[in-house]
Amino acid sequence: MGDDTSPTEELRGVAAHYPSPASSHGAQETTSTRVTGAGRCPSRYDWSKHMSAIKRLYIDEDRPLKEVMEVMQKEHNFVATARMYKIRLKKWGYTKNVSVRSEEIEPLLRLLNDAGSQGNAEAPSSEVKLATGRVVGLDRLAAHLKRKTQRLSATDTRRPSQLSVAHYRHGGSPSPKSLAINSPDIFRISELVFADVHAYVCGRIMDPGEMSVSNTNTAVTTVSTAPVFSMVHSARQFLQEDRLDEALALLRLAPGRIRDVIRYEPPDALHCIFMVIVHLLTISGAERLVSSVRALISYASAMADERSAKWSPQYPLRRILRCLSTLSTSDDFALRDMAVHAWKCLLRSQDLALGAPACAETFPKWLDLGESGGFDVLPSDLLEKMHWEVYRRSVEEFGEKSRAAWTELYWLSELERQKVNARKLPTDKLQRLLEETLNILERLPPPQGLAARYNCQAGLARIYKQEGQLALAESRLRAAIDTSILRNGQDYPITLSYILELETWLIEWGDDVKVEELKQWQAAILVNIEKESIEQIS
């Protein structure tokens, strides 16, 4: 989730035990709860959280950078220099210069030619939205395309130019249809996906055998989905920290992980697929991952088609994957938004099908959605109110040390963490929740509560670091590493992410001896991960 991992992923999987040194690093966002202000540089987490607001002001509303800075400071308490903005905007690919990809040229030329042949009324405000998110006037687009096609023709004589901007003349008044950003296919696909999501949920939940503990699908849930959650959350963390080598090492495992999800079809298979799409496309610099996400979706769809002996062409999961694969080839922005809405549809359908109080099972899945797509997509007030009541009832009925009680308390601490990160709130309440939860978890015999324990330990470590209690922060994060190794093994992505996080802290504190120890440790882990990816391919 926002700081390190999904609140649910590590309560799903089981991995090997491995001996433990006492170290770690990899900053998810060590300053994720820090409020930016005068004299403090925004963290990558701060930039990521405000990316949509900055894009809306700078690109969609076409405001000058100075005005964007003023609005962000006044309305979001977000302070950064003009140079910082320019560097970040360039990294995101948000530019006010016209920029089109080679594959977009011919569709845009057709649009211009259609516009030029449709009328004589002046339309100085006629605009089109490019794939970069930039909205430009048709005249400016025509001039840019003319220059670009001339350059392409000069450098690539094998490329026939079947269209030109010669037919476009200022004054054309294109109809709304000719400038439509979304094609009818997108809306058709949306309807199909939502209908199939609902049908899939009803089909699985209404069949008593599907959710039975004795069902082999349910039995392999943690085996097939936990590695996916851990891999994707850790990979995104590394990308946010510009640790491309570590991120790519994990993402090379993705095809095998997805294959297992399709093969075993655990109860949260669809939840897992939506998480992969949203988590990887909701990140600063997501454009670097577009081709990888496309390939994964196409691979998942192909794997589903291979199961034709068991899944008919009308089977909901198979149709959903086919629709997502079709959408991914046409519109990256629509794919991410579609996945968010379909994910919400999935969770609402599960809530309705399960009813109260069984719908409490979806709480950690809602938290995954908030972690992946942003806190604002959650019905957070409703979740908080409902699950505090569930917690109180669990304590009254089973006691505070019961699994039902401490699990709810842990989820509530995760919800509070997301809220603190998103709204830049004080961490006092979060710290109390984490300490109270950890106090219970540390008294449980292993392996009970180990995943929740190391998430709490890491969360407290970040708070202590923010408060300047460096020794306590290091101690807590090392404890999180040891707990993760006890539960998952050393070569698990979450273990690696903690090691990298501690390394970042120690570099910041100037402790070179400990840094070198951690570098050797993480190098050994990466070698093992690379070996696993090679074995998976072979």
**b/e for 216-255, b at 16 or more Cβ within 10 A?**
ebbebbbebbbbbbbbbbbbbbbbbbebeebbebbbbbbb
Which pair of structure tokens corresponds to residue 527?
Answer: 């070698």
CA distance 253 to 257: 6
H/E segment holding residue 137: strand 135-137
Is the four-CA dihedral 366, 367, 369, 370 of positive or negative sign? positive
For residue 382, give the 3-state DSSP assignment.
helix
CA distance 271 to 256: 17
For residue 48, give the 3-state DSSP assignment.
helix
Per-residue model confidence (pLDDT) at position 241: 77
Phi and psi, residue 88, nearest 5°: -70, -40
Which pair of structure tokens corresponds to residue 412?
Answer: 């509530």
Integer CA distances (angstroms), 114 to 126, 149, 186, in order: 13, 18, 22
- Helices 254-264 and 269-281 cross at an angle (nearest 10°) of 150
Per-residue model confidence (pLDDT) at position 187: 64
Per-residue model confidence (pLDDT) at position 225: 79
Query: In the chain, which stretches have pLDDT less than 70?
Result: 1-40, 93, 96-141, 143-188, 204-224, 284-287, 329-333, 356-357, 535-538
Per-residue model confidence (pLDDT) at position 50: 86
Per-residue model confidence (pLDDT) at position 100: 61
Per-residue model confidence (pLDDT) at position 91: 74
Integer CA distances (angstroms), 359 to 8, 352, 506, in order: 15, 8, 43
Strand partners, 377: none
pLDDT tens per residue across span 334-356:
788 888 989 998 998 888 877 76
- Kindly list the domain boundaries of the chain, sorted by start residue: 9-29+182-537, 36-179
Per-residue model confidence (pLDDT) at position 528: 82
Which pair of structure tokens corresponds to residue 111?
Answer: 């649009």
Phi and psi, residue 159, nearest 5°: -95, 100
CA distance 24 to 495: 8
Q: Which amino acid does the sequence have at 402?
A: S
Q: Which amino acid does the sequence have at 8?
A: T
Per-residue model confidence (pLDDT) at position 456: 97
Per-residue model confidence (pLDDT) at position 195: 86
∠ CA(261), CA(264), CA(266), 5° rounding?
75
Strands 25-26 and 135-137: unpaired
CA distance 491 to 478: 16
Is residue 346 a contact partner of residue 274, using CB atoms and an 8 Å limit? yes
CATH, domain range 9-29+182-537: 1.25.40
Is residue 4 a contact partner of residue 229, using CB atoms and an 8 Å limit? no
CA distance 121 to 523: 66
Per-residue model confidence (pLDDT) at position 120: 40
**Which residues, in sequence order, are CB contacts of 35 under 8 Å at separation 6+?**
77, 424
